């Protein structure tokens, strides 16, 4: 079991570590990482999400339980983040950062780990897990940062409408529901050819996104506001996966789906949260520290939780 877990987690976290070293050693100059982050956020990540969600069977056996538990994880993260922010008397900008980091898990890391753990069998569940989680999380984080900047919820709507991740998620979910109802208009080979550029852009960039996650690690940002930093990491990588595991067991989710739910919701926060924070002039330094600590905590806790889940 130990070797199996190491074989699953080592390659992905090795790429994250390489990204950190690549920035530290200036293999790519600091000024260029922002452009790479924006490309991930605006092009590569949306491509991945659209392809996965468009091909997902969101009405198949077990879908209601899995999507429900996934959504529950995001809503629980939101509730915990707001509660802790209130207890810590955090400012509105600090609260937005805590909410964003707590609610978003690293989808690229999840896809990579799910494939290494269960291979093609994981594809049955990945879309079901990603759809509600990503749609809800993206709405929450964009709204949190936009409201903080603009001062009202109504002014946050234009930002939601333009968000590339949310557009990709909603488009993918729409296609997954509509496509089976429409008689084939084009030959399958033509459809595959049309989707191929998105697949190449998305899945060909998985390694780049993981490297960028490592490049975004900022240990200097771990100084100060330690209670907020620890709160974000504990919610993200400890409390939510445990809650999701309990809910999956209570509602009788498939064993493989349960493992993947823990794998998804226990991952660190996504690097694109930093890009969103920067776009809305949010607390990007605090976000960087929260993401960094969530990666460190997740690297230790997630393999253990996954192993325990496999034994249940």
In whole numbers, what is the pLDDT of the chain averaged over residues? 86
* pLDDT at res. 165: 86
pLDDT top residue among 270 and 101? 101
Lowest-confidence segment of 1-10, 134-143, 176-185, 289-298 by average pLDDT: 176-185
Query: For the chain, what percent of residues have pLDDT higher than 90?
Result: 36
Q: Residue 181 above 80 pLDDT?
A: no
Query: What confidence tens digit (pLDDT) does each residue in 194-238 have?
Result: 677 777 777 767 888 888 888 888 888 788 789 999 999 999 999
- Let me know: does 264 contact 105? Beta carbons within 8 Å: yes
Confidence label for 67 from pLDDT (cuts 50, 70 and 90)? very high
Q: Is 22 exposed, middle or buried (0-12, 13-18, 19+ CB in 10 A)?
A: middle
Query: What confidence tens digit (pLDDT) does each residue in 70-88 have?
Result: 999 999 999 999 999 999 9
Query: What confidence tens digit (pLDDT) does each residue in 272-306 have?
Result: 788 788 878 888 889 989 999 999 999 999 999 99
* pLDDT at res. 238: 95
* pLDDT at res. 114: 92
Confidence label for 24 from pLDDT (cuts 50, 70 and 90)? confident
* pLDDT at res. 68: 95
Confidence label for 185 from pLDDT (cuts 50, 70 and 90)? low
Class of domain 7-311: mainly alpha
């Amino acid at each position: 079991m130990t070797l199996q877990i190491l074989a699953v987690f080592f390659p992905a976290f090795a790429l994250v570590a390489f990204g950190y070293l690549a920035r530290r050693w200036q293999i790519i100059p600091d000024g260029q990482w922002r452009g790479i982050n924006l490309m991930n956020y605006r092009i590569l990540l949306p491509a991945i999400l659209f392809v996965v969600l468009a091909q997902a069977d969101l009405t198949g056996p077990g879908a209601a339980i899995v999507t429900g538990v996934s959504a529950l994880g995001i809503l629980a993260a939101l509730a915990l983040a707001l509660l802790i922010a209130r207890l810590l008397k955090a400012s509105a900008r600090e609260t937005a950062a805590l909410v964003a980091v707590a609610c978003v898990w690293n989808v690229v890391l999840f896809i990579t780990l799910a494939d290494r753990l269960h291979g093609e069998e994981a594809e049955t569940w990945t879309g079901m897990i990603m759809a509600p989680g990503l749609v809800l999380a993206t709405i929450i984080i964009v709204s949190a940062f936009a409201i903080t900047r603009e001062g009202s919820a109504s002014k946050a709507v234009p930002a939601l409408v333009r968000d590339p991740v949310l557009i990709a998620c909603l488009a993918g979910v729409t296609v997954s529901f509509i496509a089976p109802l429409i008689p084939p208009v084009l030959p399958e080979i033509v459809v595959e050819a049309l989707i191929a550029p998105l697949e190449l852009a998305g899945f060909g960039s998985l390694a780049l996104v993981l490297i960028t996650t490592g490049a975004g690690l900022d240990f200097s940002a771990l100084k100060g506001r330690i209670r907020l930093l620890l709160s974000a990491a504990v919610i993200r990588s400890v409390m939510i996966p445990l809650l999701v595991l309990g809910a999956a067991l209570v509602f009788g989710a498939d064993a493989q789906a349960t493992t993947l739910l823990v794998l998804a919701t226990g991952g660190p926060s996504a690097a694109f949260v930093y890009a969103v924070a920067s776009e809305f002039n949010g607390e990007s330094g605090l976000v960087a520290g929260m993401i960094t600590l969530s990666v460190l905590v997740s690297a230790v806790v997630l393999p253990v939780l996954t192993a325990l889940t496999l034994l249940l």
